[in-house]
Amino acid sequence: MQGIHVLSTKFLIESEVKRLRDAGFQYSFHPFITIESKDDNKTIERTKEIFEKQDKQTLLVFTSVNALRFIYIAQKYAGKHIKTSKIACIDGITLQNSLNFFDAKNIVIKAPNAARLAEQIVKSEYKKIIHFCGNISLGEVSDALAITGKTVERFVVYETKFTPMKVRQKYHGVMFFSPSGVESFYSEN
């Protein structure tokens, strides 16, 4: 595999870069998207309201680690209510990061992807669903729940912005980590 050069559309941590290099890959990086948490007054006020007014029928949904990064900002506004929230999230890094904010016993629904998560939420007893998400979302959760009679709120807590560039160097492969990264990349290439 010597001489294979890949472009990553996401910053990789040191251990990931080491694994690539140990396998004989050369690695380059360009962020084809940026993520910005919304920390404006309107979003913060809505966050306070969500956490203060949640009840036993409320389920908070996270399908992205970026939405959880917003919770890091918002936790000082959510107060003691954050520990009592009932959570649904996708497995992997999103689940791992959710444990930084929510008690494991309160993560009541988990699934490998958003479509499966939505299926489980449809079958659940929760009537009020608040999906913490970005401005660009595939809509799998919101669309699946829209026809169920459950109250669904799509709460945008971060913005994905495209940062495309024309790639002039030849690569053997490109590593994508989100549909937005793919769209941004191909908008110039």
Q: How far apart are CA 89 and CA 155, in angstroms?
A: 15
Q: Which of 128, 62, 45 is nearest to 100 (CA)?
A: 62
Are 114 and 90 a contacting pair, CB within 8 Å? yes
Average pLDDT, the chain: 88
Q: Which of 165, 185, 155 is nearest to 49 (CA)?
A: 155
Question: At residue 1, does pLDDT exceed 60?
Answer: no
Residues 4-32: what's their mean pLDDT?
Answer: 91
**What is the reported pTM?**
0.84
Name the residue with higher pLDDT: 70 or 76: 70
Q: How far apart are CA 86 and CA 108, in angstroms?
A: 6
Amino acid at 83: K
Question: At residue 28, does pLDDT exceed 90?
Answer: yes
pLDDT value of residue 45: 87
Share of the chain above pLDDT 90, in %: 54
Residues 25-35: what's their mean pLDDT?
Answer: 92
